[in-house]
Amino acid sequence: MPKPKVIIIGSGLAGLSAGLELANQGYEITILEANSFIGGRTASWNQNGMEVESGLHRVLGFYTAFPRLVKKAGLKMKDVVIWEDEVEIKVANGPSFIYGASPIFRPFKTFSNPFRNKLISWREAWKLLKFLISGITAYIARPEQLDKYSTLEYAQKFALSDETIKRFIVPFTSGLFFLPPSKYSAYVFFGPIVHAFRRLYRVRIGAFRGGMSKVLTEPIARKITQLGGSIITNARLTRLNVDNNRIQSVQVNGKTDYLCDYAILAAPLGPVQEIIRASSLQSTFPELLSLEPMPEVNLQLEFSRAAWPVDRTVFGVGTQLITFAEQSRTTFKGKSGRMSIILTPPEEIIGKKDKEIFEIFRRDAPSLGIDPSLVTDYRVIRHSADFYLLSPHRNKLRPKTGTNIQGLYLAGDYVKQSFFTTMEGAIIAGNNAARELKRAHRNHR
């Protein structure tokens, strides 16, 4: 009996996790990637002579799907991740506050520094604690209700001061998912916090031990090819061919058709919406098409020496350099100095020229203690529509894995799962698509 043919569109973690699971089960897998390199938003490559990554990524210790994927690919976590286990909040033209991010490996900093570092007053700390307890309780009891509020609206219920919001809330909304608290769903804000509390003993934060493609996505891809799968780059999907409400084939680069029994859309939200429209399938995916994408912009720089004393995640309070990290001792070893920076607000920055974006860095860097005169090279990385908008009232628009078209499944991190637009969320989405596809194939036989 011939192996079922599965086409997977996208070689990010969603596509790779689905592909590895199905290849292990004997399916004939072909992964199509529009770029010349694999990895999607978890990719690294050489851009005009400089090693870059798709953006500043951090691995969280309470992830479960991520380490399982690493193990399934024949890798070890210690070869993929360097645990840093602390974060820093740097106030523009002000002090730095360092916090432990691991109850097991940094217990003193994790439990004592929030009380020793006087980032806010005791009165504000008490209000912040009530805000967090209320949000965590609401997420566990009635999570969908939280999606009616922005994080700012929910914080205002507890009369948090503007300074507390600026120093604590803004770094985590703008720094993690690119939105200010006024546009950031309270449901999305409290989701990761609840996941962390449920596996508190596993809370950690780590950087990649090298370029993400080198240490993670390329080894996964090699495992898939060893199992008989194939991965084709420079293959942009232009159309889904559907007949009698069943997927028949996919068209690539406007000319080549790949026949398939099943297809998994594992590309980012923006490209998937383009594919659906090009395939005249708008009536089948009304909610998915109404889910707005959002942009992200990051700046990556090389320095003549390390620009920050320690490689760790830093939130730049009061600047547009909202999150950054020195990486010359971790992800980009061998570089004299190397930094990745997430900029805010991305919707206002993304259309600017590279030189204009670099000038934002030159303006704000000194207030954070970074010397811009040490920069030797830089690149701007833009994502125009890779993420779904994490604002209130959007969660109900996120689609399920299965679709009304037989044989077609969705696996982007915009698909409903509780880890949102994270690496963990992408892997879960890919695993869910593989599981539903296998179930459908068993029932079809």
pTM: 0.94
Residue 50 covered by a domain: no
403 and 272 both lie in a single domain? yes
Q: How far apart are CA 346 and CA 131, in angstroms?
A: 27
270 and 339 both lie in a single domain? no
pLDDT beneath 70, residues of the chain: 1, 108-120, 445
End-to-end Cα distance, the chain:
11
153 and 186 both lie in a single domain? yes
195 and 108 both lie in a single domain? yes
**Which residue, 388, 408, 433, sits at the end of a domain?**
388
**Which residue, 388, 408, 434, sits at the end of a domain?**
388
Residue 246 covered by a domain: yes
* CB 13 within 8 Å of CB 415: no
277 and 328 both lie in a single domain? no
DSSP three-state, residue 166: helix
Residue 36 pLDDT: 95
Residue 413 pLDDT: 86
129 and 197 both lie in a single domain? yes
278 and 303 both lie in a single domain? no
Amino acid in position 221: A
pLDDT digits (tens, 9 = 90+) for 155-190: 999 999 998 888 888 888 888 788 899 999 999 999
User: How many domains are there within the chain?
Assistant: 3
Amino acid in position 104: I
- Structural domain that includes position 307: 293-388
191 and 106 both lie in a single domain? yes
Residue 268 covered by a domain: yes
Contacts of 122 (CB under 8 A, 6+ apart): none
Residue 133 CB coordination number (10 Å): 11
* CB 309 within 8 Å of CB 301: no
298 and 333 both lie in a single domain? yes
Residue 218 covered by a domain: no
Residue 74 CB coordination number (10 Å): 11
The CATH number linked to 438 is 3.50.50.60
H/E element holding 373?
Answer: none
181 and 325 both lie in a single domain? no
pLDDT digits (tens, 9 = 90+) for 175-234: 878 889 999 999 999 999 999 999 988 999 999 999 999 999 999 999 999 999 999 999
241 and 304 both lie in a single domain? no
Beta-bridged to residue 80, according to DSSP, are none
Torsion of CA 139, 383, 87, 331, to 10 degrees: 130
Residue 53 covered by a domain: no
Residue 44 covered by a domain: no
* CB 101 within 8 Å of CB 204: yes
Beta-bridged to residue 246, according to DSSP, are 243, 406
406 and 373 both lie in a single domain? no
Residue 110 pLDDT: 58
**Which residue, 341, 363, 388, sits at the end of a domain?**
388
The CATH number linked to 363 is 3.90.660.10
Residue 418 covered by a domain: yes
Residue 128 covered by a domain: yes
Q: How far apart are CA 445 and CA 423, in angstroms?
A: 33
